[in-house]
Amino acid sequence: MIIKGKVHKFADDINTDDIIAAKYLVSTDAEELGKHCMETIAPEFTQKVSPGDIIVAGRNFGCGSSREHAPLAIKGCGVQAVIAKSFAAIFFRNAINIGLPFLESVEVDKINDGDLVEIDLNSGMIKNLTQNKNYQTQAFPGFLQQIVESGGLINYIRKQKGKA
């Protein structure tokens, strides 16, 4: 799976309250949640983001609550993938389970806000098209790739149980 998009940079320890504040958790609609994505820390973000863009962040992205509304809000505002130095564990599995692609890379500091990057989920390669540089990362283990490629956990289970 190849994804190409413009980068929006964020810092370390971006928590789930930053991604989507609790007051908006009265909805489960990705598009509705997406309207308020990153509102607390970057009120202009939803104006700047275009469909297909990529979030690039530091350590421990998505720490805090288990709210799946966080990856849903990211998807809902048009972002198609996230690259971070590391991900908080619950966010990690939520992103896999809802089919939001992401990669872990230690080289995110080299990527600038506004860069155009292309990522290959199968090989783990990140190409920075603006800087003409490549960063090799670890691709997901097969089991997790299968879930993402099925379009999320429920579709994966449906296939396994012969429902799809």
Partner 1 sequence: MGYTIAEKILKQHAGLKTIQPGEFIEANVDVALANDITAPLAIAEFKKSGFTQVFSKSKIVLVPDHFAPAKDLKSANQCKILADFAKEQQIKNYFEVGQMGIEHALLPEAGIVMPGDLIVGADSHTCTYGALGAYATGMGSTDLARAYIDGKCWLKVPPSVKFIFKGKLDKWVGGKDLILYTIGSIGVDGALYKVMEFSGPVIRSLGMDDRFSICNMAIEAGARAGLIEPDEKTKKYVAGFKRKPKFYYSDPDAKYEKVYQWDISGLEPQVACPHLPSNVKPVSALKDIKVDQVVIGSCTNGRISDLRLAAKVLKGKKAAQGVKLIVFPATQKIYLQAVKEGLAEIFVQAGGVFSTPTCGPCLGGHMGILADGEVAIATTNRNFLGRMGSPKSFVYLANPAVAAASAITGKITHPARVK
Residues at the interface with partner 1 (CB under 8 A): 13, 15, 17-18, 21-23, 25-28, 40-41, 59-60, 63-69, 86, 88-90, 93-94, 97-98, 141, 143, 152-154, 157-158, 161, 163-164
Our CB check for partner 1 shows the closer of 123 and 160 to be: 160
- Taking the complex as a whole, the smallest distance from the CB of residue 106 to partner 1 amounts, in Å, to 14
CA distance 156 to 99: 10
Give burial (CB, 10 Å; 0-12/13-18/19+) of 43.
Answer: exposed
Instruction: Count the Cβ atoms, other than its own, within 10 Å of residue 64.
Output: 17
User: Which CB, 32 or 118, lies closer to partner 1?
Assistant: 32
With respect to partner 1, which residue has the nearer C-beta, 54 or 88? 88
Q: Taking the mean position of all CA atoms in its chain, how far away is CA 3?
A: 12
Written as one letter, the residue type at 85 is K
Beta bridge partners of 82: 55, 102
Nearest approach, Cβ of residue 15 and partner 1 (Å):
5
CB of 84 to partner 1, least distance (A): 11
